[in-house]
Structure 1
Amino acid sequence: MGCDGGTIPKRHELVKGPKKVEKVDKNAALVARWYYCALTQEKLNRPVVSCDLGRLYNKDAVIEYLLDKSAERPNMEVAVHIRGIKDVKELNLTDNPAWQGDRGNTKGDRYEDLHRACYICPVVGLEMNGRHKFCYLRTCGCVFSERALREVKTEICHKCGDPFQNSDIVILNGSKEEVEELRKGMEERRAKEKPGKKSKKSKAAETVSKSEASKDNPGPSKTTKNELKTATVNKAEDSIASAPEPSTSTAVSIKPVAAAGSKRLFLGRDEKSEAYKSLFTSHSSAKRTKDQTSNWVTHTPYHF
């Protein structure tokens, strides 16, 4: 079973202790949260959007997720609360003039500051690298540092001038406690929106029912017109009934008169002319003798 040949095992080789907790590099965690999309883990590129929980996404990645939610993605649970494009807000970011991006030194022969960010606070000038708290306004989407909002207290946006309230401030990549508070606020807003939608539907149903009722019950103007028509018809019938009948002694033979809308006079069979009768095969002129008929019989034997 081992331990033969004079080997002497030590205690740590026989007794297994608890596993050491792997420590996450803080710098790597900050870079992953502030420089990469939370859904696809790709670099953040304009346009950048954020949800009600303060996570950063590429707008293209969110649109692809909404179009096809059945596709297997590694971080699907991050965007479960996003129902539509209205649940995210496009951020109005301020570029960092000191950011070189891909134009920087790629040879590795000098020190590169990993904490230099692409965007800064337009008021204080702090870089958005995760070292300082940043937030955005839900009304306009402008991004500021928390220090700027704390030191310069105002109810108007520092960048675009739109008014806002404290409930419109969303912290970007906050702690667990801050994310839970943002989640509660999001659920409360969505709960308030539902009865508003129901009331709109009920109003639409009421308008439809009113229009149907108006069609079934015509207004007073239509009823008065119908009454006038019936009254005139009744008067005409009474006048015809009260008219005296012609006497038999003075009766005159009345010829049939064509209707007002007809253009020709319809005559009986006996009154039709010979020219009109000769148009049909039943006329005597259409009949042929035995010499004129052929040996074979067809439907219309007109061949001689």
Structure 2
Amino acid sequence: MYAEKKPDKIDLHEQRLSKWLNCSLSNEPLKPPCVIDRLGNMFNKETLVEALIGKKLPKEFGYIKGLKDMINIQLEVVPSEGLGNARFQCPVSGLEFNGKYKFFSLKNCGHVLSAKALKEVKSSACLVCYKEFEECDKIVINGDEEEVVVLRERMEEDRLKVKDKKRKVKHGIVDVKGGDKVAGKMKGNGKVENVKGVSNGGSKRFKAADMVPANATKDVYASLFTSSQKNKFKETYSCRSLPLGRN
């Protein structure tokens, strides 16, 4: 009779449902506009932005540094007869957004689709807006530990690529057409000066003398494109054979 009261058992169904219908930061019901981070956690955008501005973001979400780490998502609301929190569904298959089914968010357009819809309708374009996407653009929502590890590795790879790109811009390493790379000092107008070299060999400069046709005089052919001989006379713009001072 005087035994300690046992704690109430946690309802796993309610816990799972809360993870899919509530903000991961405030635990309030999801309300558009909503965003997702690169690890598949969902947030109310306003709540997440306020936490970032106020520097009140928990350490577990420390990888979110700014708006570039948020992806706007578009959730399909289930038509509801009564009042209450909104529920969501896949716009293609109609499967409910409740944790029983796997869902993906497409990074390039933000539409949230069920894994079943993406599997049955094999396409490289979004099934809602028809915008092209790649496999790496798919972010699994509330994935398991293994899926989160894959997403975290992908996030770190993307950040390393961004850092490497910034480093190249800082040091003036610019990719040019054909895969060549030119190193130099970057000017304020975006141009490169003091070019040091070309990695894969630069393009050869055109010389008219190297393209002389058969039975043609080298000097005469070269004179069609540029002055091949230096002299003290000035030429007319209309005729190169009659320089001033000779006629």
Does structure 1 retain, via aligned residues, the 8 Å contact 2:185–2:193? no
Query: Does the CA contact (< 8 Å) of 1:94 and 1:119 recur in 2?
Result: yes
TM-score (ref. length: structure 1): 0.53
Q: CA 1:23–1:200 in 2, change beyond 3 Å: closer, same or farther?
A: farther
SS in structure 2 of the partner of residue 53 of structure 1: coil
* CA displacement 1:279-302 (0-9 Å, x = unmatched): xxxxxxxxxxxxxxxxxxxxxxxx
Determine the structure 2 residue equivalent to 1:85: 67
Q: Number of paired residues?
A: 178
1:96 aligns to 2:82 (yes or no): no
1:207 counterpart residue number: 187
Aligned to 2:157: 188
Kindly indicate which of the two structures has a greater share of residues assigned to helix: 1
- Equivalent position of 1:64 in the other structure: 50
Q: What does residue 114 of structure 2 align with? A: 145
Which string of whole-angstrom CA distances, capped at 9 and with x for unpartnered residues, describes residues 149-199 of structure 1? Answer: 111110000011110011111010111111111111111111111111122
Q: Post-superposition, which runs of at least 4 consecutive aligned residues in structure 1 deviate over 3 A? A: 20-24, 98-101, 208-213
Identity in percent? 37
**Hey, what does 1:132 align to over in structure 2?**
101
Q: 2:23 is matched with which residue: 37, 42, 67? A: 37
* SS of equivalent to 1:144: strand
Secondary structure in structure 2 of the residue aligned to 1:49: strand
Backbone CA RMSD of aligned residues? 2.8
More strand per residue: 1 or 2? 2
Aligned amino acid, residue 206 of structure 1: M
CA distance in 2, matches of 1:99, 1:152: 30
Q: 1:212 to 1:180 in 2, by over 3 A?
A: closer
**Is residue 2:144 matched to residue 1:175?**
yes
Where structure 2 has 5 or more consecutive residues not aligned to the other structure, the ranges are 173-183, 195-247
Residue 92 of structure 2: which of 94, 106, 123 is its match?
A: 123
Show CA shifts across 1:251-293 (max 9, x none): xxxxxxxxxxxxxxxxxxxxxxxxxxxxxxxxxxxxxxxxxxx
Q: Unaligned stretches of 5+ in structure 1?
A: 1-12, 14-19, 104-116, 214-304
Deviation at 1:211, TM superposition (A): 9.7
Q: Which has the larger radius of gyration?
A: 1
